[in-house]
Structure 1
Amino acid sequence: MIVPARACPADADLRRYLTARVVSVAGALVVAVALPVLAYRLTGSPAWTAAIAAAEAVPYLLLGLLAGALADRVDRRSVMVGCDLLTAAALAAVPLGWWFDALTPWQLLGTAAVTQTAFVFFDAANFGALPTLAGEDRLTEAWARLFGATTLVELLVPPLAGLAIAVLAPAGLMVLAAVAAAGSAVLVRSVRGRLSPEPASRMRTRVVADVREGLGLVFGHPVVRTLTLVGTTQAVAGGAWAAMTVPWADAVLGIRPAGDPRLGLLFACWGVGGLVAARVVPWLSSRWGGARLALAALPVSTACALAVCASTHWVPALLAATAFGAAYTIVVLNAVTFRQQVTPPHARARVSTTARMLSWGVGTPAGAALAGAVASTGAGPRGALLAGALVLAFGVVVAWTGPALRTAARVPLSS
């Protein structure tokens, strides 16, 4: 007798795992909205808001290589559950501090660092856990289901969180994020299938050797190397955006951090742009190829970033921000897809975390720090966003003048 697919234990495990990821991503998005708003309302300082954004990205810079190497060696279920519980505890401390009038910017800075450190190890474990759970024959389906579900969450949660801030204290939203992290831990723990390979099948290598292999695979492939390095310049612009969204909305657009529902619309822009990108990247990649798509999308991303800087009214600002989110995500998804295609299966976790560490882990905190420094000189949030866009423009020059992408773009797609 054939068991229907929906009744298979493996499929039930996959649903539990994907639900855990959706719940976890939803909680993280609530934090992404509430934490900078809370920091800005607590301090009124763009520099402090930028520091929070930088603290959220620094852990990937410091620990990305180690996390990627360890993800193929340890019990991933224990790592993911432990990271979720640590995140829940750190987030729950924020509303306690707020309610007892003891919350400080330093606690917010520590919360950002602790939760993102947990995310680094969780993320690395996830890169290996999902393929192990789904199996090679269902890997594409599993990643498609995960990306589709999380993209929908990224579209819905930020505007809802932004609207909730209009009527609730942002510290109260951190309770929801803490509950989401704890819920994710329970769901991951309930998965019965394996999330790690059998101990006897794991490669017995040294962590240093694994790290070296990840670096070698990233820097040894000319296109992957170029996409990673240029991606760092784009991450600088993204870091400046993350750091200055709330101060820029307040100072330039007149969107107040408390009680203004337009803030929810502003936070929704990136999700809408990401959803558009998810729809068009497969078609664009198959039609143009990864190298040509990168060469085309990078200058478009720069132009959209400059359009954001030029906006002074909230309506064109929302349109420009949506376009920037779409172009930015096209560049990222294209680079991730190309990297996965050329990386050996056994090294995908370490290569993915290595590349993410070099681009997002370096670029995002650098962009946030640059934005905070520029804003503090008197140029304000608008000048800070412009500084990030100019760094991205430099990346476009590197991409177009370097030989790697242009050489790959000349290769026929049928080759």
Structure 2
Amino acid sequence: MDNSLPAPLWRRRNFQLLIGGRLVSQVGDQLQFLALPLLVVALTGSATQAGVLLGLQTVLYLGFGLVAGALADRWDRRTTMIWCEVGRAALTASIPVAAACGALGMPQLYAVAVLTGALSTLFGAANSAVLPNIVTNDELPRALGTIGVLSNTLRIAGASVAGVAYAVGRTFPFAVNAASFLVSAVALRGIRANFHQERADLQQERAATGVSPRALVAEIGQGLGWLWRTPMIRTLALIDAADSLRYGAGYLLIIVLAQRLDANPAQVGLVFTGAAVGALLGSVLAPVLTRRYRLGRLSIAMLWVEALAFPFYAVAPVWWLLLVVAFAESVVSPIYNVALDSYRLAVTPDALRGRVTSAIDTLTTGGAAIGTMAGGALIALLGAPALTYVLAGWLVLLALTATLSRTVRRAGATT
């Protein structure tokens, strides 16, 4: 027996703690995501205020994402992530405490949304840079695929669990989420690995110099400069952001198309459950396909599958066929995402990883936000079937762009 062989990922303590803490926190986030708008409507009777409160998360990410990436690369990532979790736990716990005292109101909910949004953005920037320091580059596809499988499994079960939690009490999901943040902090504290690859003395020297606006702007520029000078990552990031426009508009579009087929709310939910099951299957297949095919081939294949599948949303004669289309379309995205993230994390220098990831996430989040905001207006202007064909045409354009791009075709050929 070769005792030098590394243990399987699922048996490694550091990997267990990293994904375990993340998944526990995800469960809490799912409970709160459903409970927050319901709580706002219960307090104010206004769905508009609920929408504004949820929209603050996206606005904060777009405004703070690049800064968070620079801070995550400057500060100790482990310490940053732990304090973010402790801060989010305290802020979230203030909601059930205030409710128990009869003092809960909208100003507090807005303050909690803004502050937890900022901490979540900073946590995400640091978290995105950690995985390559826990596993090797060759293990990244398997690690990301494992995370995707577990995350999508929770996503499938999340809605029903969230409903049960809210039925226990309006603020009970917030108490659970606060506890989940503390569990995540304890898990992070127990990881025995360096969250940075650079020497500790250099990292401490950078952190001790203080954070000035000029220094942050310069460090953000370094991350953006590296991204711009790396054609493969830059091109794929721009294509991904353009695809996010369609993704943002597609959520509302699918709901409207399902309603046109007389689907009730439970059936609409099943359509999105089908998409979640498809994403779960894609996460299972991702490590195998990523090892077998280059990133360029997977990206081109994904775009063509999406482009060819999307028009079927408009022609489906019954609601359950929307579920079939959603399932088929959702299988390919996790495969591509695992391949892209594995490649990007492997080639991005550790010292720039937070900034580069935040820049890409800002692009894709911004694209999805624009698509979401424009989706309702375009449905009213064009009608749901016509918009489906417009978005399908957009996907064909992206697929052609990727197919004709020598940079995309060669992506993953060398590292």
TM-score for both structures, normalised by structure 2: 0.75
Structure 2 residue aligned with 1:200: 201
Structure 1 residue aligned with 2:130: 129
Structure 2 residue aligned with 1:226: 235
Q: Partners of 2:34 and 2:54 in 1: how far apart?
A: 11
1:27–1:176 contact (8 Å) kept in structure 2:
yes
Count of aligned residue pairs for this structure pair? 397
Instruction: Tell me which amino acid in the other structure corresponds to 1:351.
Output: V
Instruction: Tell me which amino acid in the other structure corresponds to 1:366.
Output: I
How far off its partner does 1:227 sit? Answer: 1.4
Q: Runs of 5+ in structure 1 lacking a partner?
A: none
Counterparts in 2 of 1:291 and 1:277: CA distance versus 1, 3 Å: same
94-103 vs 54-63, which moves further: 94-103
Deviations 1:352-389 (A, max 9, x none): 221111122x11221221234446x487xx83x97588
Counterparts in 2 of 1:364 and 1:109: CA distance versus 1, 3 Å: farther
Structure 2 residue aligned with 1:320: 325
**Match for residue 370 of structure 1 among 374, 379, 383:** 374
Deviations 1:215-271 (A, max 9, x none): 122222333222111211222233234567777767765433xxx4x5664453343
Q: Partners of 1:89 and 1:349 in 2: how far apart?
A: 25
Instruction: Tell me which amino acid in the other structure corresponds to 1:122.
Output: F
Q: Runs of 5+ in structure 2 lacking a partner?
A: 210-214
Deviations 1:79-109 (A, max 9, x none): 21222233334444556788869666x8777
2:66–2:362 contact (8 Å) kept in structure 1:
yes
1:275–1:326 contact (8 Å) kept in structure 2:
yes
Counterparts in 2 of 1:198 and 1:387: CA distance versus 1, 3 Å: farther
Structure 2 residue aligned with 1:291: 296
Counterparts in 2 of 1:55 and 1:249: CA distance versus 1, 3 Å: farther
Deviations 1:23-42 (A, max 9, x none): 12232333445556767898
Counterparts in 2 of 1:355 and 1:247: CA distance versus 1, 3 Å: same
Superposed, 1:158-237 pairs within 5 Å as 158-162=156-160, 164-165=162-163, 168-169=166-167, 172-191=172-191, 193-196=193-196, 198-202=199-203, 204=206, 206-237=215-246
Instruction: Tell me which amino acid in the other structure corresponds to 2:157.
Output: P
Superposed, 1:342-353 pairs within 5 Å as 342-353=347-358
Superposed, 1:265-280 pairs within 5 Å as 265-280=270-285
Counterparts in 2 of 1:267 and 1:402: CA distance versus 1, 3 Å: closer
2:313–2:388 contact (8 Å) kept in structure 1:
no
366-375 vs 247-256, which moves further: 247-256
Q: Partners of 1:207 and 1:171 in 2: how far apart?
A: 38
How far off its partner does 1:185 sit? Answer: 2.1
Deviations 1:114-148 (A, max 9, x none): 4433222111111333444x3x6x45547734641
Instruction: Tell me which amino acid in the other structure corresponds to 2:300.
Output: L
1:273–1:322 contact (8 Å) kept in structure 2:
yes
334-343 vs 362-371, which moves further: 334-343
Instruction: Tell me which amino acid in the other structure corresponds to 2:363.
Output: L
Q: Partners of 1:401 and 1:159 in 2: how far apart?
A: 37
How far off its partner does 1:391 sit? Answer: 4.9
2:129–2:345 contact (8 Å) kept in structure 1:
no
Deviations 1:296-329 (A, max 9, x none): 2113223444434555744222222222322333
Instruction: Tell me which amino acid in the other structure corresponds to 2:187.
Output: L
Q: Partners of 1:179 and 1:267 in 2: how far apart?
A: 28
* 1:155 partnered with 2:159: no
Counterparts in 2 of 1:370 and 1:166: CA distance versus 1, 3 Å: farther
Q: Partners of 1:250 and 1:93 in 2: how far apart?
A: 38
Q: Partners of 1:96 and 1:240 in 2: how far apart?
A: 37
Deviations 1:163-208 (A, max 9, x none): 6527844754343333212321232234455434554133859433
Counterparts in 2 of 1:86 and 1:370: CA distance versus 1, 3 Å: farther
Q: Partners of 1:249 and 1:94 in 2: how far apart?
A: 36
How far off its partner does 1:335 sit? Answer: 2.9
Instruction: Tell me which amino acid in the other structure corresponds to 2:236.
Output: L
Counterparts in 2 of 1:201 and 1:220: CA distance versus 1, 3 Å: same
* 1:26 partnered with 2:27: yes
Let me know the Cα RMSD of the aligned residues: 4.3
Structure 1 residue aligned with 2:212: none
**Match for residue 238 of structure 1 among 235, 247, 251:** 247
Q: Partners of 1:306 and 1:171 in 2: how far apart?
A: 42
Q: Partners of 2:310 and 2:193 in 1: how far apart?
A: 44
Q: Partners of 1:321 and 1:43 in 2: how far apart?
A: 33
1:17–1:187 contact (8 Å) kept in structure 2:
yes
Structure 1 residue aligned with 2:343: 338
SS where residue 72 of structure 1 aligns? helix
Q: Partners of 1:43 and 1:388 in 2: how far apart?
A: 33
1:50–1:244 contact (8 Å) kept in structure 2:
no
2:307–2:395 contact (8 Å) kept in structure 1:
no
2:96–2:171 contact (8 Å) kept in structure 1:
yes
1:295–1:405 contact (8 Å) kept in structure 2:
no
SS where residue 264 of structure 2 aligns? coil
1:163–1:264 contact (8 Å) kept in structure 2:
no
